């Protein structure tokens, strides 16, 4: 049975906006302790949620599951986090904060390449981030804003308008999300079916040979043979990401060159 969108996606703003912003920025009042042995903190709750999401996906995160992981009753979490909606907002921002923001030598192309690869690596570590619909309604936390600022600095001062700068980093972000989603789906197919790509191909290749006529599909036969030999599979996520990124950067270069 297909999962409901509410179980597989998260849209920012579903929780209490005041409490979300307080949790994201640490500006709210400190939770009242319920005894000297109270060891819960927002950080521990958020980390537990991230660990569950990393292992099982966003749909597995619930206040009860987080409480079970921490060895406490579910009701005790609500002193710190009002609901799952606010929890996921903070989880997203904390995970974004783990992205590498190292300063890169070189020009805008090297810097934007580093930005894209950092995001690609982040999604590979935390694939559930792809289930958070954050392009139009992002959690407005300090790490998310710092990440946006870092991206913009890669293309600052190269002749683009502010709107073009925003459009360029948004275009790269959408591209990285798309390729990372394809990579996550490819990885999940092996996990969900219990069959590796090699095992899948060993079953289907002999069957395909019986019905495939290379004379009827000569281009597919020629290109498919080279690609399959190179990738040792039908699709190579890393190659696809790097190839597409280079072509996007070529297009940005053309835009920049029109300014000179």
Q: What domains sit in the chain, N to C, each tagged with a CATH number? A: 5-96 (1.10.10.60), 108-257 (1.10.357.10)
How confident is the model over 208-237, as pLDDT tens digits?
889 989 999 999 999 988 887 777 666 788
CA 220/CA 225 separation, integer angstroms: 8
User: How far is Cα 173 from Cα 150, in angstroms, rounded to an integer?
Assistant: 13
Exposed/middle/buried for residue 225 (C-beta within 10 Å: 0-12, 13-18, 19+): exposed
In terms of Cα–Cα distance, which of 59, 52, 128 is closest to 96? Answer: 128
Can you give the pTM of this predicted structure? 0.86
Are 59 and 7 in contact by the 8 Å Cβ rule? The answer is: yes
Cβ–Cβ < 8 Å for 179, 240: yes
157-168, pLDDT tens digit by residue? Answer: 999 999 999 999
Q: What percent of the chain has pLDDT over 90?
A: 62
- CA-based nearest residue to 151, from 92, 93, 111: 111
> pLDDT category, 90, cuts 50, 70, 90?
very high
């Amino acid at each position: 049975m297909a999962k409901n969108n509410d179980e597989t996606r998260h849209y920012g703003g579903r929780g209490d906006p005041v409490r979300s912003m307080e949790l994201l920025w640490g500006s709210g009042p400190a939770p009242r302790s319920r005894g000297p042995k109270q060891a819960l903190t927002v950080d521990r709750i958020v980390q537990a949620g991230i660990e569950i999401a990393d292992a099982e996906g966003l749909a597995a995160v619930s206040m009860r599951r987080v409480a079970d992981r921490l060895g406490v009753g579910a009701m005790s979490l609500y002193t710190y986090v009002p609901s799952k909606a606010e929890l996921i907002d903070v989880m997203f921002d904390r995970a974004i904060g783990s992205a590498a923001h190292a300063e890169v030598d070189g020009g805008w192309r090297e810097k934007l390449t580093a930005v894209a690869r950092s995001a690609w690596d982040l999604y590979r570590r935390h694939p559930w981030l792809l289930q958070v619909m954050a392009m139009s309604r992002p959690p407005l936390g300090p790490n998310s804003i710092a990440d946006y600022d870092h991206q913009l600095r890669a293309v600052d001062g190269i002749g683009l308008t502010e709107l073009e700068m925003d459009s360029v980093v948004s275009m790269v972000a959408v591209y990285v999300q798309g390729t990372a989603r394809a990579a996550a789906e490819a990885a999940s197919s092996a996990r969900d079916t219990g069959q590796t790509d090699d095992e899948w191909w060993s079953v289907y290749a002999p069957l395909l040979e019986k019905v495939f006529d290379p004379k009827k599909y000569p281009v597919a036969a020629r290109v498919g043979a080279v690609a399959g030999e190179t990738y040792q599979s039908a699709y190579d996520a890393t190659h696809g990401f790097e190839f597409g990124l280079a072509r996007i950067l070529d297009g940005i270069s053309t835009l920049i060159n029109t300014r000179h």
